[in-house]
Structure 1
Amino acid sequence: MSMAQLVAAGAPELPEGWFYRITTTGFGYPTVQIRQPGRWFGSREVSYAIVRSEEHENGDVAVIAACVKAWERLKEDEDYARKVREALTLRGDHDPRGGR
């Protein structure tokens, strides 16, 4: 199945150069990875989701659901990282007397 077919079936469209990889875990469970091109070569995983085939009527639907879950996980991780960066802008001592 191509990227265009995955998107047409309901998987979220990814940024330019990113792609889905369907693989297995070390225990043999099918997994969807969202991958981003590496800086010089290859690619790196930025999100993943295990394909839950028992929850869907067929494997194709289960893979699309895992693509959606991996995308949602990526957005949650980005939101968390943004909040951490915002909190770290307040790093330092906050003297209740106004400082010196």
Structure 2
Amino acid sequence: MDRSTPPPSPEELEARLESVDGRLQQVTMRLEALCDLLVARGAVGEPELLAKVREIDLRDGIEDGRNVAPQVQVCAKCGRTRVGEHRFCAHCGSDALQAL
């Protein structure tokens, strides 16, 4: 969103959140059904399934129930890099951080 575009209203944000929540619930239900079918048909055991979930969780180096690599940002003003999602550069204070 550029600076000339007004931010969405609280009602628009609520509608978007409800839409995302509905899609997340559908995906979660389908994933649960697939896991149940795999275990019920003997294609994979529950311990093996949980071990795979943990392996995937650790792919980003952090056991936190997510598989999201830390974002690296570079400051367009001073060139320093920073890990995470930040608004301002910790070195020079600029708001010119860009994702790598």
Q: Which one has more relative contact order, counting CA pairs under 8 Å at least 6 apart?
A: 1
Same fold by TM (over 0.5)?
no
Structure whose residues are more often helix by fraction: 2
For this structure pair, what is the TM-score category when the shorter chain's length is used for normalisation?
0.3 to 0.5
